[in-house]
Amino acid sequence: MEQKRYTYEDFIGIIKTLRGENGCPWDREQTHMSLRPCMAEEAAEVAAAIRIYDSTGSSENLREELGDVLLQVVMHSCIAEEEGLFTMEDVVSEVAEKMVRRHPHVFGDVLAKTSGQVLQNWEEIKRREKEGKTQIQTPLREIPPELPALARAVKVLKKTNQLYEPQKDFKASVGKIREIAEKMEQANPADYDENLSGLVGDMLLEISNISRICKLSQEQILTDRIEEIIEKYE
């Protein structure tokens, strides 16, 4: 017997049923805040599934985890619809409109032959989008603290370089790392040393700056290195 295949519309209806009067008690209790950890966990699961696919060629786990992320998006949209804020259709329409607006080299008459030109245009369009809007946060505060610290550091350094003052170049950061390492050699390791903690913080920022310059995902690099250690001892 052939397994039933559900459509996107079927899925929206299922979630609305679960949230409905005769639905699931757990699903009905959920709020934007209660689901917040779930979104972070599911995003991490997708990243893990991509790694598994890259190493094994198996896409089954990736397909499943993408579905779980979609579930989170639809749940938040259904809750927002109940609150009279927006619908899932609004979410889809807005992101589609944004993709058209931010790709004028595809849907308009702007020329962009390299990915660098595309990114430059993208940032300029984003800047224009914010003009005339009341900004509750400063540009740096717009970078969410919920991001992993290493990823957030790169974004903060990138924005300070764009808006405030030039950050160190590659050689300057490498030189600073060498200087910090020399100071570390003079430290006496302890359970907690405030001076050593500051040096480690300085070192991480310089590494973050190098990652910014070289467009490296230090979060992913460190994750991969940790996996290599685990596999070594398994």
CATH number at residue 156: 1.10.287.1080
Residue 136 confidence (pLDDT): 54
| pTM of the full structure | 0.72
Q: Are residues 47 and 79 in the same domain?
A: yes
Q: Are residues 72 and 122 in the same domain?
A: no
3-state secondary structure 83-142: CCCCCHHHHHHHHHHHHHHCCHHHHCCCCCCCHHHHHHHHHHHHHHHHCCCCCCCCCCCC
Tokens encoding 160: 């300070």
- 158 domain-assigned: yes
- 36 domain-assigned: yes
Mean pLDDT score of the chain = 91
- 208 domain-assigned: yes
AA letter at 131: E
Q: Are residues 17 and 47 in the same domain?
A: yes
Q: Percentage of the chain surpassing pLDDT 70? A: 97
Mean pLDDT calculated for residue range 78-95: 97
The answer to whether residues 209 and 167 touch, using CB atoms and an 8 Å cutoff, is: yes
- Which carries the bigger pLDDT value, residue 134 or residue 26? 26
- Quick: pLDDT tens for 193-230: 788 889 999 999 999 999 999 999 998 899 889 989 99
The answer to whether residues 150 and 218 touch, using CB atoms and an 8 Å cutoff, is: yes
- Which carries the bigger pLDDT value, residue 123 or residue 10? 10
Mean pLDDT calculated for residue range 82-109: 94
The Cα 117–Cα 115 span in angstroms is 5
Q: How far is CA 187 from the centre of its chain?
A: 36
Q: How many CA atoms, within 13 angstroms, populate the side-chain half-sphere of residue 123?
A: 9
Residue 40 confidence (pLDDT): 87
Q: Are residues 128 and 145 in the same domain?
A: no
Residue 210 confidence (pLDDT): 97
- Quick: pLDDT tens for 144-167: 888 889 999 999 999 999 889 999
Residue 135 confidence (pLDDT): 55
Residue 220 confidence (pLDDT): 86
pLDDT tier at 141, thresholds 50, 70, 90: confident
Mean pLDDT calculated for residue range 43-64: 91
Q: What's the structural domain count of the chain?
A: 3
Q: Are residues 143 and 228 in the same domain?
A: yes
pLDDT tier at 132, thresholds 50, 70, 90: low
- Quick: pLDDT tens for 63-86: 999 999 999 999 999 999 999 999
- 97 domain-assigned: no
The answer to whether residues 150 and 204 touch, using CB atoms and an 8 Å cutoff, is: yes
Residue 134 confidence (pLDDT): 60
Mean pLDDT calculated for residue range 7-31: 96
State the residue range of the domain holding 169: 138-234
Tokens encoding 221: 């690099």
The closest alpha carbon to 209, from 161, 157, 139, 160, belongs to 157
AA letter at 223: T
